[in-house]
Amino acid sequence: MRNSAIPPQPIVYNEFDKKSDLNQLLREDQHHICCYCQQILTHFQGENIGGSHNEHLEPQNGPYAKPLLQMDYDNIFACCNTTIGMGKKEKNKRHCGDKKGELLIRGFIQEPTCTNSFKYNNLGEILPNGSYPSFKEYQANRNSLSKDESEALNTLEVLNLNSVTLVNDRKKDFDKLFKVMVRLNKQIIDQKIIDFQQLTHFPRYIDMLLYYMRKKK
């Protein structure tokens, strides 16, 4: 359950004077990983590596703005930074909240069954949980997708969760996990799953790791 122990504050987020304290609570609730891509978060703002900002799932501004949710704790999440130091030519590397901006996406991260809506492949891609094996195939067949698959695809596209950087990093972690898993039996893997879920600091891309660990036979 998310921590909501913050004192009463103005309803306008820009007037809120404890953004850093809020970010600390959010990072703790999220086991110190980004709400979208699950990279490790270590601090508020600052440098890209480990840096984070307070992300509003329902936007504060723009055509989809929900002003009354600006200070709703359940609408705010700790999200990684990607834009610091980036030039115009690197826009394709932006992801998560920095890429989403004021656009509207389905609140998968608020849903208890969020992980059931997505799957992974051994290329390091995250995909809607359907029948296609790659991100390009989902995009090419978007008109044949179910409502849930279509909304999952839209979320992945808006957040750019298959950016080259994220895919490469997931691929590296998948390869490391596979090398370990081939040496362990299912009972040990099952215990590792429990151990992972009890950590106060999750490893990056934990949902991908758990996805493959649960497939161990």
Distance in angstroms (rounded) separating the CA atoms of residues 153 and 168: 19
Domain interval for residue 94: 1-104
User: Residue 35 in contact with residue 55, Cβ under 8 Å?
Assistant: yes
Query: In this structure, are 5 and 93 located in the same domain?
Result: yes
Query: In this structure, are 112 and 208 located in the same domain?
Result: yes
Domain endpoint, select from 83, 104, 125:
104
Angle between helices 206-213 and 186-197 (to 10 degrees): 150
pLDDT at 86 over 90: no
Number of domains in the chain: 2
Query: In this structure, are 11 and 76 located in the same domain?
Result: yes
Question: Average pLDDT over the chain, rounded to whole?
Answer: 92
pLDDT at 210 over 90: yes
Query: In this structure, are 87 and 127 located in the same domain?
Result: no
Query: In this structure, are 120 and 158 located in the same domain?
Result: yes
User: Residue 206 in contact with residue 38, Cβ under 8 Å?
Assistant: yes
Query: In this structure, are 157 and 183 located in the same domain?
Result: yes
Name the strand (E) or helix (H) holding 122. Answer: none
pLDDT at 97 over 90: yes
pLDDT of residue 88: 58
Domain endpoint, select from 78, 104, 130:
104
pLDDT of residue 3: 62
Domain endpoint, select from 40, 74, 104:
104
User: Residue 77 in contact with residue 30, Cβ under 8 Å?
Assistant: yes
What does the pLDDT look like over 41-73, one tens digit per residue?
999 998 778 999 999 999 999 999 998 999 999
pLDDT at 1 over 60: no
- The pLDDT-based confidence of 92 (bands split at 50, 70, 90) is confident
Q: Where are the beta strands (DSSP E) in the chain?
A: 43-44, 51-56, 76-80, 118-120, 126-128
Distance in angstroms (rounded) separating the CA atoms of residues 150 and 100: 17
What does the pLDDT look like over 6-48, one tens digit per residue?
555 557 899 899 999 999 999 999 999 999 999 999 999 987 7
Provide the token pair at 101.
């901006």
Query: In this structure, are 172 and 82 located in the same domain?
Result: no
% of the chain residues with pLDDT over 90: 83
